[in-house]
């Protein structure tokens, strides 16, 4: 998902959808971890699932525009790392 106040027509979304954009995915299991991020690989938007306009709720309960994406990761994430993110801490 994009940051808030982003629409499907924004430059940010067009940049993400550009085939020449190099996107690398880093994730963190929880905010309770010591700031460790894990590199999962390069990714591209999934062309079979186009981005959709969505919303997120801010701290004051206001609904803000955001865009939701589905990505394909290359190469696939190692099974042990995938399972680590699925399991409770």
The Cα 11–Cα 86 span in angstroms is 33
Domain ranges of the chain: 11-86
Nearest to 43 by CA among 63, 84, 72: 72
Lowest-confidence region among 1-10, 24-33, 39-48, 62-71: 24-33
The Cα 42–Cα 11 span in angstroms is 21
For the purposes of burial, counting CB atoms within 10 Å of the CB of 67, is it exposed (0-12), middle (13-18) or buried (19 or more)?
buried
Which position has the token pair 């979304």?
A: 13
Which position has the token pair 């955001």?
A: 66
* 22-41 pLDDT, tens digit each: 999 998 877 776 778 888 99
pLDDT of residue 33: 67
The Cα 9–Cα 88 span in angstroms is 37
């Amino acid at each position: 998902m994009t940051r808030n106040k982003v629409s499907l027509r924004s430059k940010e979304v067009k940049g993400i959808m550009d085939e020449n954009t190099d996107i690398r995915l880093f994730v963190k299991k929880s905010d309770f971890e010591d700031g460790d991020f894990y590199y999962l690989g390069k990714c591209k938007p999934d062309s079979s699932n186009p981005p959709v306009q969505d919303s997120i709720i801010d701290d004051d309960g206001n609904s803000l525009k955001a865009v939701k994406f589905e990505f394909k990761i290359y190469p696939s994430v190692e099974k042990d790392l995938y399972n680590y993110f699925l399991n409770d801490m």
